[in-house]
Structure 1
Amino acid sequence: WTEASDAVKAYYDQLLVRWKEEMDTLLVYAGVSSAVMTAFVVESYKLLQPDPTDATVAVLMQISTQLNSFTISPPFVNVTQVHQPASATHAPFRASSSAIWLNALWFSSLVFSLGSALLALFVKQWIYDATVGGNSRESARLRQFRLNGLLRWRVGTIVVVLPIMLQLASILFLGGLVVLLWTLHATVAAIASLLVGLLFTFFLAVTILPVFRSDCSYRSP
């Protein structure tokens, strides 16, 4: 009984420690990535709104046109109605397709990053609640009960999914960055697209290779 209890305790404690370390690392990365994404999103969402300076310019143009329509013939001041060109009229604002794609990718990335951080906090709470000390029979029974609960409720699956969410967040952010660069400068965008493509190819390779090669060390939890 003692040997079996010690073996279960060693396995259980090692499992909880590994999960806790993974959550700590994930929280650090999620915090850094969320801060970076937020800095970009704060500026990009403005592309979905009409520029207030456009309305100001339109009003000033209208005032200028009206002032130019005045003719002074003493002792009278005549006003001639000036036809407004079609370009001077206010058209409903429509965001560009690049702005829509850019914000869709970056906001999705931010949601994945913050969501993974939130779930990581939950997992850390579950790990703390599942911790059982001692080697008595009561402790061993409680430890086995908690272990069965963790396995039954797929806590390990959630631990595995969280890094995938962060990886998706990074991919979405890089995709949005490429979209932004193509609207600014073609040469810079081409170089960035090449680098992102190489990184994505490497990501796919290290993800798929373990499926075909049993001796491949590129394994995720």
Structure 2
Amino acid sequence: MMANLFSVFDPSTSVMNLSLNWSSTLMGLLMMPMMFWLLPSRPNMIWNLIITTLHKEFKNLIGPTGHIGSTFIFISLFSLILFNNFLGLFPYVFTSSSHLTMTLTLALPLWLSFMIYGWSNHTQHMLAHLVPQGTPPVLMPFMVCIETISNMIRPGTLAVRLAANMIAGHLLLTLLGNTGPTLSTSILTLLIMAQIALLTLESAVAMIQSYVFAVLATLYSSEVN
């Protein structure tokens, strides 16, 4: 009996009695960008609003001499630190932004790249920054030393500020939480309320510290243009 030529196109692929042939119908939708077939959700709209606001603010901080698109690296930096800070608020999740290994990895390459770019392309401008305007000639050598030291410790202050602020609140939450099993029921209720208040404070600190880190990095980059 002659076989039907079109039988080779019949659905036959399956895994655990689940047909996979019709999955190709959905692949086209999966490959299309989300903006073409799904309305943005409210969290997506809020996040786009935050990114747009940050872009405008960072653009004003950098000034008209900044390179086009340079704000994207600072928005990405803000997003990375913000997500890591919030992930660290969940129980049993390692807070990477509370360790100098993470924060120095973010701050040191940024500062070093700014210094290399500034001293290579705007040497006179960088030398002028070492002596503030209106400094008496007698104090100029001291001001050069002070400005050089303050410039050298910038990556350290960026890294330590973020790590110290993140680890301080987590340490306080841990110390208060460890006293819970030894307390009475009435005091335990007060402890839970205090923990909730501290957790709310830590959520605010997570947002503020990521914003401060990104803004200071933007200000450091504006000085070398």
Q: TM-score, normalised by structure 1?
A: 0.35
Larger Rg, first or second structure (1 or 2): 1
